[in-house]
Amino acid sequence: MKKVSLEAILILLFLTAIAFSAEKIGFVDSDKIIDNYKGISLLRQQYNKLELEWEKEAQDKKQEITKLKSELEEQYLILSSETRKKKEKEIEEKQETYENFIKDIWGMGGKTEKKYEELIRPVIEEIGNVLQKIGEDEGFTMIFDISKGNIIFAKTGLDLTDRVLFEINKEFSVTAAETEETKFYVFRFKDVGTEAESRSIGRQMSNLAKSGLDKFEAFEPVEARTVSETMTLLGFMNEEDLDDSQIRRIALRLQARIIVFGEVQVSSGKIKLNMKWMDFNKGQDIKKKDFSIEEKDKLEKLAQDLLTFLGREIREK
């Protein structure tokens, strides 16, 4: 889901001025609020699931056109002029239908844009309600949004971002014990160098990491079939060939909270692991952490170091 700007509500939220000698002005970071809203992952799942269905439909339409073109090319010489014209007309009509579908879904004011606005509207309204109450109860004259970098300096204590987050996340603190299992996926680590590749260290490490995360309480792996289907839909083949941006694109459609990937190499008598990971409950940033063990040590030790680190980071509030 794309970044949210609450300009319509937050850039300049005028409230009833209270009888103070000086204006009281506050600010919020709307991007931080949306990224840390505990319900955003569920909204993202709903949005991505629907967009994935539209992408599959678009791919089917395109494949049908490709098939018809191929058939026409193969049979061109044996078809009568009339039959060729009929097939060409059919292809043109299907091409027009495909292009209209793409425009209807992803064009300006299309279904993806409308669906996004539909899903996020209640969150925006709730943020507006919280700010309205804070403003009226505490005598703020206006509240600005600093996510666009509009404010260079502000006194400590005027930032209302964390207060808004606390209010809109209250409902999740009550039902935290009843949340669904945490979905995760570990992409195959890339083998860097011939030695790591010959020993398939990347494959071994990804399997150890998957197995370890699966033992975390309430953790459940995304099915490999689901990942494979998503990659095919996006035009990607091998997991170990994916770059960071491609993994991010896939991750946004997997409906998972935790994504782990990276690369391994053998150098100077050590096995080195450069791990990258994403926790969608804490935003969409790619985080990094390096690990290493002596080459004589077992890979299980490297996996344990990785899992210990992840366990601490995932559970950190």
3-state SS class at 124: helix
Domain boundaries, the chain: 1-176, 180-315
pLDDT for the residue 275: 94
**pLDDT band at 282; cut points 50, 70, 90:** confident
Fold of 180-315: Rossmann fold (3.40.50)
| Terminal-residue alpha carbon distance, the chain | 23
pTM: 0.49
Q: Please list, in sequence order, all residues whose beta carbon lies within 8 angstroms of the beta carbon of residue 206, skipping any fewer than 6 positions away.
A: 186, 187, 188, 189
Instruction: Report yes or no: 289 and 299 within 8 Å, Cβ to Cβ.
Output: no
Which residue has 């077992």 as its token pair?
298
pLDDT for the residue 141: 79
For the segment 65-87, what is each residue's pLDDT rounded down to a tens digit? 999 999 999 998 898 989 999 99
Tell whether the torsion through CA atoms of 47, 288, 241 and 191 is positive or negative.
Answer: negative
Average pLDDT rounded to a whole number, residues 206-227:
88
